Structure 1
């Protein structure tokens, strides 16, 4: 079984939480430091997670306010 990079694994977990409606549009994600601590990774790994999720349009960032879940209708396709 191939090893998945931490940033991809964490990003996939966040996407799964949005799909399962554990995270809703407009919900604020924990800070970089909080997510790093929760997942046992470095802050730079969490920054990669945010870059990946932003590129996929799963999240949006508001400087000084935080990182928020985007409306799934903008990025999620039915399986």
Structure 2
């Protein structure tokens, strides 16, 4: 069985937090440094997780302000 890449696991954790309403639309995500320390991964790994989340439209980045959760209605499918 193949191991899930760290960046995928981080992105999945953020998505799970949105689905369970631990994160809500407009909430600011932790900084790259904070996630790097939490998961014990490199800066680049967190960047890849954010890139994946951005591609899935789960987050939006605002230059100089941070990374924010988007409205799940725009990307989340009902189970």
The CA deviation at 1:30 is 0.7
Runs of 4+ aligned residues of structure 1 deviating over 3 Å after TM superposition are none
Q: Deviations over 1:21-70 (max 9, x none)?
A: 00000000011111100111001000000000000000000000000000
Q: TM-score, normalised by structure 1?
A: 0.97
1:22 is aligned to: 22
2:78 is aligned to: 78
Q: Which runs of 5+ in 2 are unaligned?
A: none
The CA deviation at 1:2 is 2.0
Q: Which runs of 5+ in 1 are unaligned?
A: none
